[in-house]
Structure formats: structure tokens, C-alpha cells
Amino acid sequence: MAILRKDSVPETEAVSGYPEPWNLGRGFLSYRHITEAGGLTQFGAAVETLLPGKQSSQMHWEEHEDEFLYMLSGELTVVENGEETVIGPGDACCWKAGVPVAHCLRNHGDRPATYLIVGSRVPHNICHYPGLDLLATSEGFTHLDGTPYPTKGETE
């Protein structure tokens, strides 16, 4: 058993892994990867903080992974298939694997928003990004036709 005290898990600045032109850069959110610190492997959980004026990810949905979010502080706008819903502390979101509800989080407020995010760790998952020429697979990011995006340092 691992007891993880408040603030004992280091905070990491997120760096977007999306290929160009979809990359979100850095400085949009930070996270504390709780399950990594605890050595768990079957699901992932992190406490994330999304900064004001920023977006968490590209709009996406997962083929094989469930996702769960629980708001801790602040306020977020959840965008699902173009519909926006504001959530606050105590609110939760569930995105079932295989249901094509594209979603992302936006912080339209003037202060950081913090939430617990949990997802299953399915090695063969495919993540879809509607409206973008982008898929995330276990082999990396590809175009919709399956052509891989170049990895860092490669040219297309």
C-alpha cells in the first residue's frame, strides 16, 4: 500500500504531444500523476490544473478507454460535440469507451481549475479527433489514412 500525502507527488508542467499543426505547446496545464507515484498499472489517475484561457486537449473520443473527471476547484467549460456546459466543484463527467462524444475542457475563467481525471490503460486504444486529420494509436499519431506523423526530429 502506498500513502501519498498532499503535495507529495511532484507537479509536472504538461507539454503537448500532438503533431503539428495540432500541437498545444506548453504551459496550458500541470498535473500530479497519482497512479504513477503509487505504482498502479490498470488505470491512470492524475490531479490536473488547467490554466485560465487554456484548453486541455484537442476534441477527442476514445475507442477502448473510459474517462472520468471530478471537479475539485474552479470552473470549467466542458465542450461535447460542440455543446458547452459549465461545471464546478463536486460535478463529474463520464465518457464511456466507444461512444463517439468528442470532448475537451476549456477554462474561460480568471483562475486555475483543478480536477481529478481517471482513465483506463488499454494498450490497443485508438483516440479519434473529429474534424482533424489525426488519430492516436498505440504506435503513435497517424493521419486518417493511417500514414504516421513524423516523430520529433523527422520531417514529413
pTM score, whole prediction = 0.92
The full length of the chain comes to: 156
CATH class of 12-126: mainly beta
Average pLDDT, the chain: 94
d(CA 114, CA 137): 28
- pLDDT grade for 150, boundaries at 50, 70 and 90: confident
Lowest mean pLDDT among 2-6, 9-13, 71-75, 87-91: 2-6
With 90 as the cut, is the pLDDT of residue 155 above it?
A: no
The predicted structure's pLDDT at residue 152: 66
The yes-or-no verdict on residue 154 having pLDDT over 60 is no
Whether 156 has a pLDDT exceeding 70, the answer reads no
pLDDT in tens, 103-143: 999 999 999 999 999 999 998 999 999 999 999 999 899 99
